[in-house]
């Protein structure tokens, strides 16, 4: 019997890891510079957290969640995103009373039962930031600024930030009705999902990717005309801050995002290098979410991006992550040589030098070939003679230069350039 991967879930092998590490380290570095604190939360949460938090009519909740009963029949779900969990964490730990203003970030796997394609997986990995407890429009600009700083740090170009405001819950109700009136006469020219959305939540029609619905969507009214004076003022201030900070954006009046918790500012960063799944990251305000989950009124804003897409974009742009090279490959042979080799490897590793050596008793020739293949910086052949005299030749592989050295650890570290 052989086992295959679960469809839409992937292994990440060592040769791809440098891109992942580059991306993960960039997120951590920008989080450090902007003073965000990391949180980690379970991969599994009560189903209701997502169905209430994300919204019963969203695609994520209606068709994409991995939901199962536990042994006591409680419904659990593999997290499809992080915002609802962060809101839950904020409530679980009483942060609303203790420290209501929070700047948090997270990284980790998420799960959605979507149709797999390039840049869209069933297990994918997100990085996200969330700022809780402040309504000021300057925070919207700061969160968008984080996204731009991350991309700049990674040297990614070809990007466009789409920005919109969908207003408060009253504005959204108004907008939903405007959309219902707009789409109703064309219901028979829409996909089956959109006919359902027309009844349940016409806002979701704007996220539809079906070919047949696109001409209709392109002509739909934008959300900005439905904004109340307060929400319109907030959006104007956000734009002013973005302008002051020199952060680029394009207004997209029909951007609503696919999750129901959003209020006011919404945005997405898209990449011209990614094809159909071109959204590198997306986010917005969710000023009602914490209250909806049973907490006090607490504004929130954040975004999340997929690492898979970030890695693809980096690769498309020809980015070459630094490859970690082995400092020293030891080639021991003979009994004495092998004994000395193992001891030397142990001592050098304790001093921070990366060392590998043959453990399969292969021939000298095979070991030297291995040293070449693994792109080691240096090679040291350690036979019985070297073990006895305590001296050997360290070869620098890039130049071919050989240097004679004592096998004393300090002397070796000097020769290795450390």
Considering only residues 85, 126, 226, 271, which one is a binding residue for ligand HAM as defined by CB under 6 A? 126
Please report, to the nearest 10 degrees, the dihedral formed by the alpha carbons of residues 249, 252, 253, 257 taken in order.
Answer: -100
Nearer to ligand HAM by C-beta: 124 or 183? 124
Interface of this chain with ligand HAM, residues 288 to 307, rule: CB under 6 A:
302-306
Strands 123-132 and 263-271: unpaired
Considering only residues 19, 124, 241, 267, which one is a binding residue for ligand HAM as defined by CB under 6 A? 124
Helix intervals (H) in 184-264: 192-200, 214-218, 229-244
- Location of structure tokens 């536990």: 70
- Residue 112, interface with ligand HAM (CB under 6 A)? yes
Residue 268 gets the label, from left (phi > 0), alpha (psi -120 to 50) or beta, of beta
Q: How many residues line the site for ligand HAM (CB under 6 A)?
A: 28
Considering only residues 55, 82, 321, 332, which one is a binding residue for ligand HAM as defined by CB under 6 A? 82
Nearer to ligand HAM by C-beta: 10 or 182? 10
- What minimum distance in Å lies between the beta carbon of 292 and ligand HAM? 14
User: Who's near 106: CB < 8 A, 6+ residues apart?
Assistant: 38, 39, 40, 41, 82, 86, 126, 127, 128
- What minimum distance in Å lies between the beta carbon of 324 and ligand HAM? 27
Scanning 123-131, 145-153, 319-327, 336-344 for contacts with ligand HAM by CB under 6 A, the matching segment is: 123-131
User: Who's near 209: CB < 8 A, 6+ residues apart?
Assistant: 276
What sign does the dihedral 231-232-233-239 (CA atoms) show?
positive
Considering only residues 283, 321, 337, 383, which one is a binding residue for ligand HAM as defined by CB under 6 A? 283
| Token pair for 157 | 């170009």
Nearer to ligand HAM by C-beta: 179 or 281? 281
Q: Is 139 exposed, middle or buried (0-12, 13-18, 19+ CB in 10 A)?
A: buried
Say if residues 378 and 416 touch (Cβ distance below 8 Å). yes
Give the number of other CB atoms < 10 A from CB of residue 360: 7
CA gap 183, 136 in Å, rounded: 35
Scanning 22-30, 132-140, 198-206, 274-282 for contacts with ligand HAM by CB under 6 A, the matching segment is: 274-282
Nearer to ligand HAM by C-beta: 123 or 406? 123
Considering only residues 47, 57, 279, 354, which one is a binding residue for ligand HAM as defined by CB under 6 A? 279
Mark residues 302-331: x for contact with ligand HAM by CB under 6 A, - for none.
xxxxx-xx----------------------
Scanning 13-21, 236-244, 282-290, 393-401 for contacts with ligand HAM by CB under 6 A, the matching segment is: 282-290
- Residue 280, interface with ligand HAM (CB under 6 A)? yes
For residue 323, CA distances in Å to 16, 187, 416 come to 10, 54, 18
Say if residues 161 and 140 touch (Cβ distance below 8 Å). no
- Residue 274, interface with ligand HAM (CB under 6 A)? no
Considering only residues 47, 76, 120, 253, which one is a binding residue for ligand HAM as defined by CB under 6 A? 120
Angle between helices 169-183 and 192-200 (to 10 degrees): 130
What sign does the dihedral 43-142-32-18 (CA atoms) show?
positive
Interface of this chain with ligand HAM, residues 230 to 259, rule: CB under 6 A:
258-259
CA gap 263, 81 in Å, rounded: 17
CA gap 161, 238 in Å, rounded: 14
Scanning 121-129, 169-177, 201-209, 214-222 for contacts with ligand HAM by CB under 6 A, the matching segment is: 121-129
Scanning 33-41, 76-84, 145-153, 348-356 for contacts with ligand HAM by CB under 6 A, the matching segment is: 76-84
Nearer to ligand HAM by C-beta: 81 or 358? 81
- Residue 83, interface with ligand HAM (CB under 6 A)? yes
- What minimum distance in Å lies between the beta carbon of 125 and ligand HAM? 8
Residue ranges in contact with ligand HAM by CB under 6 A: 81-83, 112, 114, 119-121, 124, 126, 128, 130, 258-259, 279-284, 286, 302-306, 308-309
């Amino acid at each position: 019997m052989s086992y295959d991967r679960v469809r839409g879930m992937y292994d990440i092998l060592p040769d791809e890891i440098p891109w992942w590490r580059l991306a993960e380290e960039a997120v951590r570095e920008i989080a450090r510079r902007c003073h965000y604190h990391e949180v980690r939360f379970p991969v599994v949460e009560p189903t209701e957290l997502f169905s209430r938090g994300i919204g019963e009519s969203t695609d994520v909740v209606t068709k994409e969640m991995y939901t199962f009963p536990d042994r006591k029949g409680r419904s659990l779900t593999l997290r499809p995103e992080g915002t609802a969990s962060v809101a839950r964490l904020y409530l679980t730990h009483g942060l609303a009373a203790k420290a209501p203003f929070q700047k948090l970030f997270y990284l980790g796997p998420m799960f959605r039962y979507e149709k797999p394609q390039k840049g869209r997986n069933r297990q994918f990995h997100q990085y996200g930031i969330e700022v809780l407890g402040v309504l000021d429009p300057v925070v919207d600009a700061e969160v968008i600024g984080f996204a731009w700083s991350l991309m700049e740090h990674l040297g990614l170009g070809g990007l466009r930030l789409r920005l919109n405001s969908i207003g408060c819950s009253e504005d959204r109700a108004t907008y939903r009705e405007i959309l219902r009136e707009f789409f109703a006469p064309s219901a028979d020219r829409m996909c089956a999902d959109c006919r359902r959305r027309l009844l349940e939540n016409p806002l979701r029609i704007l996220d539809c990717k079906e070919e047949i619905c696109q001409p209709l969507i392109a002509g739909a009214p934008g959300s900005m005309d439905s904004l109340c004076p307060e929400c319109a003022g907030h959006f104007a201030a956000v734009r002013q801050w973005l302008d002051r900070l020199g952060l680029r954006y394009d207004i997209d009046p029909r951007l609503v995002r696919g999750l129901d918790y959003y209020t006011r500012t919404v945005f997405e960063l898209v990449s011209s290098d990614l094809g159909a799944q071109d959204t590198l990251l997306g986010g917005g305000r969710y000023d009602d979410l914490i209250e909806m989950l049973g907490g006090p009124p607490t504004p929130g804003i954040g975004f999340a991006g997929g690492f898979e897409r970030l890695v693809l974009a980096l690769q498309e742009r020809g980015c070459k992550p630094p490859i970690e090279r082995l400092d020293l490959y030891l080639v021991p042979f003979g009994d004495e040589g092998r004994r000395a080799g193992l001891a030397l490897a142990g001592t050098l590793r304790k001093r921070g030098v990366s060392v590998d050596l043959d453990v399969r008793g292969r021939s000298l020739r095979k070991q030297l070939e291995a040293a070449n293949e693994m792109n080691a910086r240096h090679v040291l052949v350690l036979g019985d003679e070297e073990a006895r005299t305590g001296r050997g030749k360290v070869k620098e592989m890039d130049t071919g230069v050989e240097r004679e050295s004592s096998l004393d650890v300090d002397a070796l570290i000097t020769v290795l350039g450390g």
